[in-house]
Amino acid sequence: MSSAFDDVISGSEDNDGTIERESESNDTTRHYDLAEKDDWMTPPEIVDPIAESVGGIDLDPCAHEQSTHGDVNLRLEDGDDGLEDSWIAKSNTINPVVFVNPPFSYKKEWLQKAVDEVQNGVETVIFITPDSADTISWWHQYIAEYSSYVCFCEGRVEYIDDTDDSKDRPPFGTAITVFGKASRDLLSTLDELGHVVETVSDI
Ligand SMILES: C[S@@+](CC[C@H](N)C(=O)[O-])C[C@H]1O[C@@H](n2cnc3c(N)ncnc32)[C@H](O)[C@@H]1O
């Protein structure tokens, strides 16, 4: 029995930019590979307007060796460890705005770190994940519990392959979560990228 989910995995949806995948509609392995790769870089059409809206990103704690999203970029290659290092201590400001597109295999660890850092005084964390609100472990434990806002991106985001700068879309949508404070400019930029919802707690 087929379902809408089969369409998502096969890439045969036609309204969200995945149309070019129709020729590969039986190649599900490739899509799973795409989901599991941990080095996909955030495309400029996502990170640039966000950076502009917050007056510049102070820190990217999990930067790729080729990415320069933050004023400060923590890189494994330079001996940094964004999961261990203090984000306030590493950034050049006492109330930093931090942008996190983590290795998706380690979402829980990075989400826990983001929540801890906001509780330690980081002003704003803008955090990229799959838009998997059905995922009980990390979505409900961290995003549903601690976020301020979530933007569900319209269409599939095309990420950049670090090996050859080619672009590709994973077989899931993208959510951009804000932990901590969100300025009006940031919310308006997120509203351009998708559908923004505010998290209500303590009902
Ligand atoms: C999905 S990529 C995102 C790269 C970049 N932040 C961006 O948005 O384009 C995740 C990156 O995190 C880096 N990374 C993984 N673990 C890390 C750690 N503990 N500290 C710093 N960087 C890490 C990997 O090298 C990888 O390039």
pLDDT number for residue 17: 28
Tell me: do 18 and 106 sit in the same domain: no
Mean pLDDT value across residues 40-44: 95
Task: Enumerate residues lining ligand 1, CB below 6 A.
Answer: 38-42, 60, 62-64, 67, 69, 74, 76, 80-83, 101-103
Q: Which of 60, 66, 76 best tests ligand 1's pocket when mutated (most atoms within 8 Å of CB)? A: 76
Tell me: do 141 and 81 sit in the same domain: yes
Q: Does 44 map to a domain?
A: yes
Q: Does 161 map to a domain?
A: yes
Tell me: do 58 and 83 sit in the same domain: yes
- Give the pLDDT band of residue 36 (cuts 50, 70, 90): low
Tell me: do 88 and 183 sit in the same domain: yes
Q: Does 127 map to a domain?
A: yes
Take atom 25 of ligand 1 and give the residue whose Cα is closest: 64
Q: Does 97 map to a domain?
A: yes
pLDDT in tens, 77-134: 999 999 999 999 999 899 999 999 999 999 999 999 999 999 999 999 999 999 999 9
End-to-end CA gap in the chain: 40
Residue 26: CA atoms inside 13 Å, Cβ hemisphere, count? 0
CA–CA gap between residue 56 and residue 4 (Å, rounded): 39
CA–CA gap between residue 66 and residue 64 (Å, rounded): 5
Contact 181/63 with Cβ under 8 angstroms?
no
Answer with the residue of higher pLDDT: 5 or 192.
192
Contact 198/148 with Cβ under 8 angstroms?
yes
Judged against a pLDDT cut of 90, whether residue 13 lies above it is answered with: no
pLDDT number for residue 28: 40
Q: What angle do CA 161, 129, 189 make, to 5 degrees?
A: 90
Q: Does 45 map to a domain?
A: yes
CA–CA gap between residue 163 and residue 54 (Å, rounded): 29
Tell me: do 25 and 48 sit in the same domain: no
Q: Does 203 map to a domain?
A: no
Tell me: do 86 and 7 sit in the same domain: no
pLDDT number for residue 163: 87
- Computed on alpha carbons and rounded to an integer, the radius of gyration of the chain in Å comes to 17
- Containing structural domain, residue 142: 39-198
Tell me: do 192 and 149 sit in the same domain: yes
DSSP codes, 48-89: HHHHHHTTSEEEETT--TT---EEEE--GGGT--TTTS-HHH
pLDDT number for residue 27: 41
DSSP codes, 109-148: HHHHHHHHHHHTT--EEEEEEE--TT-IIIIIIIIHHH-S
Q: Does 171 map to a domain?
A: yes
Tell me: do 16 and 56 sit in the same domain: no
Q: pTM of this prediction?
A: 0.85
pLDDT in tens, 125-180: 999 999 999 988 999 999 999 999 999 999 999 999 988 889 999 989 999 999 99
Tell me: do 140 and 171 sit in the same domain: yes
Judged against a pLDDT cut of 80, whether residue 18 lies above it is answered with: no
Beta bridge partners of 159: 168
CATH value at residue 180:
3.40.50
Take atom 9 of ligand 1 and give the residue whose Cα is closest: 41
